[in-house]
Amino acid sequence: MKSFLKVLSVSALLVVTATAASAQSMDKLIADAKAEGMLTTIALPHDWCGYGDLIASFKAKYGIRVNELNPDAGSADEIEAIKANRNNKGPQAPDVIDVGLAFGPSAKKEGLLQPYKVATWASIPDDAKDPEGYWYGDYYGVLAFQVNTDIIKEVPRDWSDLLKPAYKNAVALAGDPRTSNQAIQGVYAAGLALANNDPAKPASSSSAR
């Protein structure tokens, strides 16, 4: 369904692949989608942000098949899937992606996206969208510790707690930070916390660059 959109994640974004159409009416968009008969998604696990219910509702409402590629893929995997299928109009070419905010501008620069402005475009803050409609912030994630209290009895309260001997071999990231936006956010947050706790550095030195 090369006329549909893409959603971007954790610092989330909505973007559209280079095969998508821009500036269509919703009726025309739905008609074209039904004529094509299939929407190809990638990296949309059913237990993440309600995607399972959203996909089921989409299929029920429009009667369009949803081809789900690699639900557990990371942002970099999604971008590579677009690149690998730039000239492929078959089922392996993603129509929509859900990636970290930084991937929107870079994907636009590489010519991987098409512009599309949703009905609620005006309500999206300017700093969370591309002015031409190539990507926009769709939702955001709040970083938190997830603890298995069956194993860990004393729940960590701050990043510095993770350095205690009690947590040795008990800490993990949510994926590979080279390809997972959620994982790299964990690394980034830990770095900010370390800078703030270093007495040799003023608190302001932890500002993002």
Per-residue confidence (pLDDT) for residue 197, from 0 to 100? 66
pLDDT value, residue 204:
38
Cα 108 from chain centroid? 15
Hey, is 116 helix, strand or coil?
Answer: coil
Please enumerate in sequence order all residues whose Cβ is within 8 A of that of 176, keeping only pairs 6 or more positions apart, or say none: 74, 183
Phi first, then psi, for residue 100 (nearest 5°) are: -70, 155
Q: CATH 3.40.190.10 residue ranges in the chain?
A: 14-136
| 158-209: pLDDT as tens digits | 999 999 999 999 999 988 888 777 888 899 999 998 887 654 444 433 333 2
Work out the average pLDDT over 48-70.
Answer: 95
Top-confidence residue, 200 or 64 = 64
Average pLDDT over residues 18-37: 74
pLDDT of residue 52: 96
pLDDT in tens, 113-158: 999 888 899 999 999 999 999 999 988 778 888 999 999 999 999 9
In the DSSP assignment, the letter for residue 8 is: -
Q: For the segment 76-127, what is each residue's pLDDT rounded down to a tens digit?
A: 999 999 999 988 878 899 998 989 888 999 999 999 999 988 889 999 999 9
CA distance 10 to 76: 13
Domain over 14-136 is classified CATH 3.40.190.10: yes
Mean pLDDT of 7-32: 58
Is residue 55 over pLDDT 90?
yes
pLDDT at 65: 96
